[in-house]
Structure 1
């Protein structure tokens, strides 16, 4: 997966190149600054992307409404004053700024403020929110402008963004995200985690009780669906959507009926399938290939979960 890398000291070229990745905007050096040292690496898959962006110098950035995408800006150092949707946030390594597609922004990045920026297409965010809710999104989705990064949930989400950036930086055919099933599931999980971690206009609806009139029947249907399709690009959101319920409702029903989560159930079925495949595999079979084919992106975590379930490593099963 090729990354787009730009290096320039020219202000006009910096504005043009960053605009190609994001959108047209004004870029103005702060008083006394005569040039920038732009360093940008942009990566994208599906409806999401990660950009590492550093002007090195103090600049003012004024984009109009983003319109087609959401933006989470995370300073690695330094700070930025971000005004968006009538609010002003001082963004630091402990506080990200989140821009929704509907309003102009006015940002002052201090000197020495490299950012890691996550962006997601508007339809992709709305589609994942609809899966979580179990119904269509019938209005704009506005995120709070300031996002604390010190909570365990936010830190976990940021690790997911870092993983995405690392994998998208790998050469073609060398990334786990080259596999379309894994890339699609990871994208959904990352956006879903953001929607559950950071406050937005639908947060209260996501927090409402999510009971179902027939949880036992719902769980049986979900298990049948997972058992039949766990080798495919299946996510818990897909299962909930196929059954006409929200993800929260499905999760609540699994906890009540089975004492587990649909994610854990799906993972267990995939582990069982890998176990069977390893026992039947001929010599020379790659554990990594089988794991990826069954939907496991994080191989270290896969190996740990496999050992916990079967009492041996995947390679030990393969050698039997």
Structure 2
């Protein structure tokens, strides 16, 4: 079975492409992997009993997250990887060779591959992994946005990530959440606004979770940006609060690093930039609810319009800000 489709009725390039695939044919498997990942040579041991591969993939522009399920032992070989790639076993183990490293990965340890080198992996039968591909230019541009300056790539990500605890575990849970949404046709992941926000979180989260030569610069406190630069970010928020801004986007608007933007907001406005954005969105949602026709409009529609991905968290934040649930405001508008 081979099923690849964008969500019906949606044509924006940020709308996810989805693939559900299972096959006992190596050529079909190779075609599917080439479609979403890389040109790959697929093999099975000489004494292998047949072949079986299952793939569930969601692609958000430069980010691809897929679950690969190996019914039989299998090898995958890529002549030269052209992206940043993380393989996170969910069941079983995998071995890999890449850039002079011998890597053993399991559910507590992810394998990491960078651009410009071949990759060879070996997978046990009855195993499964999450395969996360991030296009090189996307991750390097995200790092440049976070730093507020150009960088020279590639980024020196480590060959392995501990995903059993700490930031690595948090990042792996975010990726799992993204993949789990594939199974729900009504998921907010199919809304371009939400998809773009989640994609940005995965990219920036990886950069903040693992050691590399820019990590200290990303995480150490920065010098506060000047009021005029902070005002540019504030104006952007007021002009388009519904936009899926990341802190990196706002830093680019202001013309400074993320750390300087965060310190500038703290010093001049008393809160982080994303908290300021949330408060502006709450204010706009409140105005919309007060003016809406409760017969024609729902709380969920207004929350989504103003960039809130999680309805429960929106309702909680709204009650904290205005003292009543959003449904009460909507009812009173009638």
Q: Fold match, TM over 0.5?
A: yes
Per the alignment, residue 145 of structure 2 pairs with 131
Aligned to 1:56: 71
2:195 partner SS:
helix
Contact 1:43 1:169 in 2 (8 A): no
Aligned twin of 1:143: 157
- Report the TM-score when normalising by structure 1: 0.90
Question: Aligned-pair distance for 1:208?
Answer: 4.5
The residue number in structure 2 matching 1:310 is 322
1:306 is paired with a residue whose SS is helix
The correspondence for 1:273, drawn from 280, 284, 294, is 284
The alpha carbon displacement at 1:274 in A equals: 0.8
Equivalent positions of 1:117-266 (< 5 A) are 117-171=131-185, 174-212=186-224, 214-266=225-277
Distance apart, 1:241 and its partner CA: 0.3
For 1:157 and 1:148, the matched residues in 2 are separated by 10
Secondary structure in 1 matching 2:127: coil
Range with greater deviation from structure 2 (121-130 or 231-240)? 231-240
Which of the pair has the greater relative contact order for Cα pairs under 8 Å at 6+ separation?
1
What is the Cα deviation at residue 209 of structure 1?
4.2
Determine if the alignment matches structure 1 residue 66 to structure 2 residue 81.
yes
Q: Does 1:105 align with 2:125?
A: no
Can you give the 5+ residue segments of structure 2 that lack an aligned partner in the other structure? Answer: 1-6, 8-16
Identify if the C-alpha distance between structure 1 residues 128 and 297 changes in structure 2 by more than 3 Å, giving closer, same or farther: same
Structure 2 distance, partners of 1:156, 1:209, is: 22
Cα displacement (A) at 1:133: 0.7
SS of the residue corresponding to residue 39 of structure 1 reads strand
Q: Does 290-299 or 144-153 show the bigger shift?
A: 144-153
Q: What's 2:53 paired with?
A: 38
Q: Aligned-pair RMSD on alpha carbons?
A: 2.1
Uncovered stretches (5+) of structure 1, i.e. residues with no partner: none
The count of corresponding residues between Structure 1 and Structure 2 is 316
1:264 is displaced (CA, Å) by 0.9
Could you tell me how far 1:170 is from its partner in structure 2? 4.1
Equivalent-residue separation in structure 1 for 2:43 and 2:214 (angstroms): 35
Deviation at 1:254, TM superposition (A): 2.2
